[in-house]
Amino acid sequence: MLKDNAEMPELNTVRDLLGGLLGRRVRVESQRGNSRLRDKNLVIALYRQRRTNQVTAMCASDLSFACSTGAALTMIPAKVAQRAAKDNDLTPAIEENIWEIFNILSRTFESSLGSCVLEKIYYPGDDLPQTVSTTLRAGNGQVNRISMDVEVSGYDAGVLMALTT
C-alpha cells in the first residue's frame, strides 16, 4: 500500500510548515518510546502520489493534535478545540480546517515521494480499510514511522505520526 524506503519528514520541516501556516510558535519533538496513538480516536490521512496514483504515505494523529491545529488555523478558541477533542465532537469548522492541515502536511513527503495529494481522511468512528488498520499496527521494520509531539502556542499538545512502508 505504501512506498518502500521513503524518507520520513524532518521535525523542523513539520515545525516550520505548521508555524508558517498557523502564524504561531510550534514546538515539534520526536516522541520517545511507544506512540500514544493506540486508542481508536484517531484522525488518519492517506496521501496519493501524483505520478503513480498510488497511496504512498499516511499521517495519523490523536484528536488533540487535529483539533488544536484545526482550531488554530482560523483562530477558533483553544477551549473549543479542547472540548471537541475531549467529547470526540468536531465542529464543521474544525473538521474543514483539519482537512486543510493534513492537506498542507502532504508537502512534508515531497522530498522523498515527489508530489503527493491528500486522498482521504478518516475520522474517529469511520470504518477503516483493512490495509490502513494493518499499516497502523505494523511493527518496526515493516513500516517506516516517526511519531512527534506537537504543540501549537496557546493550544493543547498532541501526537502526529507519519508512516510509509
**Residue for grid cell 483562530:** 75
**145-164: per-residue pLDDT in tens?**
889 999 999 999 999 999 88
pLDDT for residue 17 is more than 60:
yes
**94-146: per-residue pLDDT in tens?**
999 999 999 999 988 877 777 889 999 999 989 999 988 888 887 666 778 88
Domains parsed from the chain with CATH numbers? 11-30+38-164 (3.40.1550.10)
Helix axes 92-105, 63-73, angle to 10 degrees: 100
Which among 67, 65, 61, 58 has a CA at the least distance from the CA of 38? 61
pLDDT for residue 3 is more than 50:
no
